[in-house]
Amino acid sequence: MNFIPMIPDHLDQVMIIENECFPSSPWPRRFFEEELSLVGRAFFFVALESENVVGYGGYCLVDDEMHITNIAVKNGVRRRGIGRKLTELLIEDGLQRGVKAAHLEVRRSNLAAQGLYRALGFKQVGMRPGYYQQEKEDAILMSADL
Ligand SMILES: CC(C)(COP(=O)(O)OP(=O)(O)OC[C@H]1O[C@@H](n2cnc3c(N)ncnc32)[C@H](O)[C@@H]1OP(=O)(O)O)[C@@H](O)C(=O)NCCC(=O)NCCS
């Protein structure tokens, strides 16, 4: 397994995983393209297995804080530590850029992701009722001091 910075060539495979993981609210391809063009402000990585993208994650940098915007692992290779490794990689990268805290939002029903983030030291710090408008689902806000 290799973890390397995401490049536009990865986006065909990333979009397949994005649509599979977030069927009701996938990021459109142009969001990823925009993030990849924000040099020095947004940072994305992919997990590669035999040259195939099996997961990805990204964050944006705001002053000395990082906002984790995406973590996704292809169905079929979950529970093998890829999500944990991707999240640790983002945090490591953020730390090298002087980040002091990490923030993210996660659906109330997404217990897998909440389990992952808790295992890495994130704590619930708030809630946004009905944040995910399509299903009127609450977002749990989680943060970690780094
Ligand atoms: C959340 C997600 C990224 C986890 O990726 P993963 O590679 O399967 O996670 P890991 O194998 O690294 O698991 C790390 C820890 O997270 C927790 N976890 C992961 N999946 C879990 C599940 N289904 N149920 C409960 N806890 C889970 C566990 O604490 C796990 O440690 P353990 O395996 O030692 O018990 C993956 O399920 C996914 O892509 N889901 C769809 C997209 C998504 O929801 N992204 C997050 C948006 S906020």
d(CA 18, CA 129): 24
Map out the domains of the chain as residue ranges: 2-145
Query: How far does residue 104's CA lie from ligand 1's centre (Å)?
Result: 15
**pLDDT for 11:** 98
**pLDDT for 134:** 84
| Strand 52-62 to 65-73 pairing | antiparallel
Pocket test for ligand 1, best of 53, 73, 122, 142 (most atoms within 8 A of CB): 73
- Give the CATH fold of the 2-145 domain: Aminopeptidase (3.40.630)
Q: By alpha-carbon position, which residue is closest to atom 30 of ligand 1?
A: 116
Residues written for the chain: 146
- Given a cut of 50, the residues of the chain with pLDDT beneath it are none
Catalytic residue (one of 105, 131, 132, 137): 105
**pLDDT for 135:** 86
Atom of ligand 1 nearest to the CA of 73: 39
Q: pLDDT tens, 123-135? A: 999 999 999 988 8
Query: How far does residue 117's CA lie from ligand 1's centre (Å)?
Result: 9
**pLDDT for 129:** 95
Contact 98, 81 (CB under 8 A): no
